[in-house]
Amino acid sequence: MEKEHYIYDNESQKKLSWKNIGHRLKKVNRNKGLGELEKEQVIITILTPETRKLSQCVVPDIDALNRIIKQLMGTDASARRGYFYSRIERSCEMSQYKNKLI
């Protein structure tokens, strides 16, 4: 049976890849959310205290967070677009691409 490794960041993935350079990794999956996990993966990565990884998040302004969530999860696509454009405009690297986004 193949051993499964759960990697939580790019640096750890690089280390595992280099460590296994002589033994080809058979399969690599990258999951972006809980909905993409199999039942067994949820048990190992989230429900089992010995194998899960927890991170504490501190939200300094809960009202601002709620406004952002409502804006992003709502039905108004122009509100979502406005949110992303405002972030892009703040980034010097991305500002040149603003007019190319749909």
More confident residue, 67 or 87: 67
Q: How does residue 66 score in pLDDT terms, banded at 50, 70 and 90?
A: very high
The percentage of residues in the chain with a pLDDT greater than 90, rounded to a whole number, is 18
Residue 62 pLDDT: 93
In 3D space, the residue among 3, 16, 8 whose CA is nearest the CA of residue 32 turns out to be 8
DSSP3 helix / strand / coil % (the chain, rounded to 5): 55, 0, 45
pLDDT tens per residue, range 71-101: 899 899 998 888 888 877 666 555 455 555 5
Helix orientation angle between 77-90 and 62-73, rounded to the nearest 10 degrees: 120
Most confidently modeled range among 50-54, 60-64, 85-89: 60-64
